[in-house]
Chain A
């Protein structure tokens, strides 16, 4: 079957609060749709087979690997990418700020997926233990940080106010 035989499908996805109505090839993955069609290049591709977690986004508020689904499957759903985490321009979330404070990133490539996983954890569990943090990020691979400062950042963000 060649590309010309494949019918485009109409999808409606809410991405970072904005309603998007597009036509896509069924085989376009959600991550490629986000990056190429919507130009939101904050979400990254690392392996395209569901292991590294660099492509993690929130789908209806749950962290999923966007390389492991096709955009058509996300029709009528809500997607949040790293660009949609901050409440407004010029303001960062506590976790984003903590990542900066605790040096929880180096090359920045796994960071968007890592942030999504951390935000999902804290939304569900506002005061996680270190073990729970490690558990929550265990399917996001980082080759730069050795994870220590990422764990430190989440603990810093979730401990008593003003620490």
Chain B
């Protein structure tokens, strides 16, 4: 399993990388950590003529914490995101999702941008990005910068809006202001670290009396991209999340998905799994939000 021959250049800066991308006419690929790309090249499923190494570009490695947003450079290592203390406080859902992303050894090399651009339908960061409505900044030599919303970025399985000559440079994660927050990330795979058969994520904010103020949730691995349900979420605002309501919402959401079947899981099982996990994620996030209500009452 040796990769097909290719040329290699290490980008000196972002402009250099974009320049090389532009001149290669679609035959080049950017490589950061390579944890997804290199195995595909070893299997000769990916055969770029040129690899442009952006792994050392400091300009892509910033994590900028602001009160309303966290900006994460595409070249930030998954490991660095995982251990950044303010990521956990500002983006608790992202913090919770990181333990599910591959294995420690792959997170040592893999980048945030790499996972997002790879766009596996069961990828944790993709699900989190959609649930949190993250923004994506793309840049190319010819067209400069453009900004996409998460649901404009993910187009299908392993397929994003990034063109042949573009690079994802940054993602922008909104921070929910205020207290009484709860989050949950649930996933089931046969082995630890495997691609999820299905996953579910939820972020919720409640009023002091337990009624939902704001909620966003989604399921992964059960369609071409992770799915989010803004309308269903909106319909929950102002309500208490009883277990029955959580089950009902989870059922409706899961039923709308169109999972594939493979040797590990049929479509029917995946739907069932998504429903179970989403129901649990909703209830778990809600319980955490309620607990935060109590604790902030104490202080």
- A: residues with CB less than 8 A from B are 1-3, 5-7, 9, 25-27, 29, 32, 48-50, 53, 56, 59, 62-65, 67-70, 72-73, 75, 117, 135-136, 138-139
Q: Are A27 and B108 in contact (CB under 8 A)?
A: no
Q: Are B104 and A27 in contact (CB under 8 A)?
A: no
| Chain B residue at minimal CB-CB distance from A9 | B8
Q: Are A27 and B105 in contact (CB under 8 A)?
A: no
Other than A50-B106, A138-B103, A139-B104, give 12 A-B pairs with Cβ distance below 8 A: A1-B49, A26-B7, A27-B2, A27-B3, A29-B3, A49-B43, A65-B35, A65-B105, A65-B106, A67-B38, A67-B39, A139-B103
Which of A1, A26, A49, A69 is in CB contact (< 8 Å) with B109?
A69
Instruction: Give the interface residue-count category, chain B.
Output: 20 to 34
A-contact 0/1 string along B228-245, CB 8 Å cutoff: 000000000000000000
Q: Which chain A residues border B41 with CB–CB below 8 Å?
A: 27
Q: Check if B193 is an interface residue, CB within 8 A of chain A.
A: yes
Q: Check if B42 is an interface residue, CB within 8 A of chain A.
A: yes
Q: Which of A9, A70, A117 lies at the interface centre, i.e. has the most chain B CB atoms within 10 A of its CB?
A: A70
Q: Which chain B residues border A62 with CB–CB below 8 Å?
A: 79, 108
- Chain B, 162-180, CB within 8 A of any chain A CB: none
CB distance from A11 to the nearest CB of B (A): 10
Give Cα distance in the complex from A6 to B1, angstroms.
18
| Chain A residue at minimal CB-CB distance from B35 | A68
Q: Check if B55 is an interface residue, CB within 8 A of chain A.
A: yes
Q: Are A72 and B53 in contact (CB under 8 A)?
A: yes
Q: Are B34 and A6 in contact (CB under 8 A)?
A: no
Which of A1, A25, A26, A50 is in CB contact (< 8 Å) with B35?
A50
CB distance from A119 to the nearest CB of B (A): 13
Interface SS majority for chain A:
mixed
Q: Are A73 and B34 in contact (CB under 8 A)?
A: yes
Q: Are B105 and A56 in contact (CB under 8 A)?
A: yes
- B: residues with CB less than 8 A from A are 1-8, 10, 31, 34-35, 38-39, 41-43, 49, 51, 53, 55, 79, 103-106, 108-109, 192-193
Q: Are B8 and A48 in contact (CB under 8 A)?
A: no
CB distance from B38 to the nearest CB of A (A): 5
Q: Are A68 and B8 in contact (CB under 8 A)?
A: no
Q: Which chain B residues border A135 with CB–CB below 8 Å?
A: 104
Known: A2-B5, A6-B7. A69 touches B108 (CB 8 A): no
Which of B6, B104, B106 is in CB contact (< 8 Å) with A26?
B6
Q: Which chain A residues border B8 with CB–CB below 8 Å?
A: 9, 26, 70, 72
CB distance from B253 to the nearest CB of A (A): 31
| Chain B residue at minimal CB-CB distance from A53 | B105
| Chain A residue at minimal CB-CB distance from B34 | A69
Which of A48, A67, A73 is in CB contact (< 8 Å) with B55?
A73
| Chain B residue at minimal CB-CB distance from A27 | B3
Q: Which chain A residues border B2 with CB–CB below 8 Å?
A: 27, 29, 32
Q: Which chain A residues border B42 with CB–CB below 8 Å?
A: 29, 48-49, 67
Q: Which chain A residues border B6 with CB–CB below 8 Å?
A: 1, 6, 26-27
Q: Which chain B residues border A53 with CB–CB below 8 Å?
A: 105
Q: Which chain A residues border B49 with CB–CB below 8 Å?
A: 1
